[in-house]
Amino acid sequence: MSGYVLAIDQGTTSTRAIVFDKDQKVKGVGQQEFTQHFPQDGWVEHDPEEIWQSVVSTVKAALKKADLTAADIAAIGITNQRETTVIWDRATGKAIHNAIVWQDRRTAATCAMLRKAGKEPLFTKKTGLLLDPYFAGTKIKWLLDKVKGARKRAQNGELAFGTIDAFLVWRLTGGKLHATDATNAARTLVYNIGTNEWDAELLKLLDIPAAILPQVKDCADDFGETDPALFGVAIPIRGVAGDQHAATIGQACFEPGMLKSTYGTGCFALLNTGADMVRSKNRLLTTIAYRLDGKTTYALEGSIFVAGAAVQWIRDGLKLVKHASETGPLARSADPGQHVYMVPAFVGLGAPWWDAEARGAIYGLTRNTGPAEIARAALESVCYQTRDLFDAMRRDWKGKGNDTVLRVDGGMVASDWTMQFLADILDAPVDRPEILETTALGAAWLAGMKVGAWPKGKDFAKRWARDTRFSPQMDAATRKAKLKGWDRAVRRTLTE
């Protein structure tokens, strides 16, 4: 069997397809950005057809760059932006509305109404989640409420719901399979992570017909085969995981207590808690890290909505730089005497604050503040938010984790300046791996392992290699002062 595995990494702002060889080395990459739609303040949408076309195009591009054909690929693994919600017609495969993106806040009022009715503890007990527009459940309800005739058609079995992974599986298999994996199901607000099944009580509360839901499989499982008309031959699809879970796998965080943080559009930290479903007392999420061979491994998760998106705003909104990579050097040149804080609540604040109505703010501006200080504040905001998560996890995880090493990945970790500040503000080591494509690598491992082309978990973990360790260098007094300023800025921004 060929050791080549193809990973489809369908992200928030771009789609990537990556071919890995049997040694988990990158052989070919295809990447394509797609349009972000902002119909109203706090609303974010994607065109499912544009996403689909980007997947087909990037797969073909990755194969071409690797000088391979589809026949050379042993299996496909899929990883995806989580919570982004699509409902489509089972007969045509066409979506009934644009996809509602995980960042979208249009269902804030619905969440507030359910909280006021005292329903949040029930949702949290069963799903590990909080009532927030971030998750798919209230997005499904909105689509069924707002698209004419949608709820009746859903009840009649004419429509299908899926997060992006399920939509892609449907399209790739020519409509033969309607399925998701446990990690994506766990982000819907209607999946019971203790019993590993859709929850009838929660579905009733949100008025979601069960007929619309996909089958839930393990992360490494049989997700059908691609339609031969797409790439020339049928390729087995054998792995699916939400992006943060795939990154946890790609970082080989298989042991309880291991922690990774991914810095993409948002920032998401996952702490492996093993078979222990830890109930957070600090407004973190309890989620499924992965499910293999029917065995569920749980995690504590902290979700930051804006990380790399703050850098994109510096580039595209303020036009202070032409390329995101310029922000690190620019931040390094900032005046150390200025104490500027950015709270990037462009779409609300995530963990541990969970304020859907908060909006971004910058504090400490003076006449001498310029692009360098604003760039520094944007990068530092990501590190401060990570510190908030880090502290909450330390409190929740049975007092353990004080010696935790943070494994990092995602586009922002290429900046040495940012990673050093992260280590400084965490007062903990930060490890950057040799392979930065950890999300795609995790999806590839699921598929490659399932078909026997790649090693099992322990042998895969042995191959994880560190590129750079960033150790704390900041003195305690400076760290304390900076954190005090950050805390003051956040509390000024909160609306609740």
213 Cβ contact partners less than 8 Å away, ≥ 6 residues apart: 161, 190, 198
CB 272 within 8 Å of CB 420: no
Check the annotation: does 244 bind a ligand.
yes
DSSP E strand stretches across 179-236: 179-181, 191-192, 197-198, 215-217
Is residue 242 classed as helix, strand or coil in its secondary structure?
strand
Check the annotation: does 124 bind a ligand.
no
Check the annotation: does 411 bind a ligand.
yes
Is residue 340 classed as helix, strand or coil in its secondary structure?
coil
Phi, psi dihedral angles at 47 (to 5 degrees): -90, 115
Give the largest Cα separation in the chain, rounded: 65
Check the annotation: does 385 bind a ligand.
no
Check the annotation: does 265 bind a ligand.
yes
What tokens were used for 416? 């040495």
Q: How many CB atoms lie within 10 A of CB 7?
A: 32
Report CA dihedral (270, 58, 166, 99) to the nearest 10 degrees.
90
* Sign of the Cα pseudo-torsion (69, 71, 77, 81, in order): positive
Check the annotation: does 243 bind a ligand.
yes
Question: What are the C-alpha distances in Å from 131 to residues 107, 217, 278?
Answer: 10, 25, 18
Check the annotation: does 13 bind a ligand.
yes
CB 224 within 8 Å of CB 75: no
Check the annotation: does 493 bind a ligand.
no
Distance of alpha carbon 374 from alpha carbon 190, whole angstroms: 40
Check the annotation: does 294 bind a ligand.
no
Check the annotation: does 261 bind a ligand.
no
CB 265 within 8 Å of CB 200: no
Check the annotation: does 83 bind a ligand.
yes
What tokens were used for 118? 């005292």
Distance of alpha carbon 422 from alpha carbon 384, whole angstroms: 8
Check the annotation: does 57 bind a ligand.
no
Check the annotation: does 33 bind a ligand.
no
The alpha helices in 263-415, defined as continuous H runs, are: 308-312, 327-332, 371-396
Helix-then-strand count for the chain, H and E: 17, 22
For the annotated binding site for ATP, the residues are: 12-14, 265, 308, 312, 411
For the annotated binding site, the residues are: 12-14, 16, 82-83, 134, 243-244, 265, 308, 312, 411
For the annotated binding site for ADP, the residues are: 12, 16, 265, 308, 411
For the annotated binding site for sn-glycerol 3-phosphate, the residues are: 12, 82-83, 134, 243
